[in-house]
Amino acid sequence: MVKPVVAFGDPVLKAEAVEIEKNHLGLDSLIDDMWETMYDAEGVGLAAPQVGESIRLFVVDGSPFSEGEDGDEGCDNFKRVMINPVIFESSTDESVMEEGCLSIPGIREVVSRPNEIKIEYFDHNWDLVEEHLKGIAARIVQHEYDHLDGIMITDHIPAVKRRLLHGKLRDIGLGKVPVDYRMRLPKGKIR
């Protein structure tokens, strides 16, 4: 089932999400719903807080980047469910790229992130997986991982620039920004 995507301004997006247990109620259907919601909104990643669940879980599918950009090796077959992920190593070299976020429609911001990360997580079968990610895959994962700590792309830009966005961000929360997927607005309205 496609769920409404929580829009900027909802406290669930600023909260630190909690780890879950293997027997977490409704986990399988939540993961199914997150895939459906992500594909419906044409996103490459979706974190549980974005559908209103403050738990440490996200899904990513980098296939829209499968060609690879700027010499990147691309994202072929980079489709993952990550449960209780922990990034335990990040490269010191970073690069910048413009990012968007399904919870902040119409806004794109240049974000600097480490080029490579090492991450440990449980997959959909609760097998513990360790991966070394680079390029776009590392970027997508870091963006979603941020959501679990209440961090959004607007937190990565200088305060001065963020202030300039104030009106636009308010309009998103008021549902004044056109989107072609369902959203849950801070006042609880679904549009």
Q: Annotated catalytic sites, by residue?
A: 144
Single out the residue of 17, 101, 136, 169 in contact with Ni ion (rule: CB under 5 A).
Answer: 101
Total residues in contact with Ni ion, by rule CB under 5 A: 1
| Cβ atoms of residues 107 and 100 within 8 Å | yes
Q: Which is nearer to Ni ion, 7 or 30 (CB)?
A: 7
At closest approach, how far in Å is the CB of 25 from Ni ion? 25
Overall size of the chain counted in residues: 191
Does position 41 interact with Ni ion (CB under 5 A)? The reply is no
CB of 149 to Ni ion, least distance (A): 12
Tell me which stretch binds Ni ion (CB under 5 A): 75-83, 94-102, 105-113, 178-186.
Answer: 94-102
| Rounded CA separation 75/69 (Å) | 10
- Asked whether the beta carbons of 17 and 54 are under 8 A apart, the reply is yes
- Dmax (CA) for the chain in angstroms is 44
**Residue 43 or 135 having the CB closest to Ni ion:** 43
Q: In 3-state terms, what secondary structure has residue 70?
A: coil
Phi-psi region of 31 (alpha: psi -120 to 50; beta: other; left: phi over 0): alpha
CB of 127 to Ni ion, least distance (A): 26
Binding site for Ni ion (CB under 5 A): 101
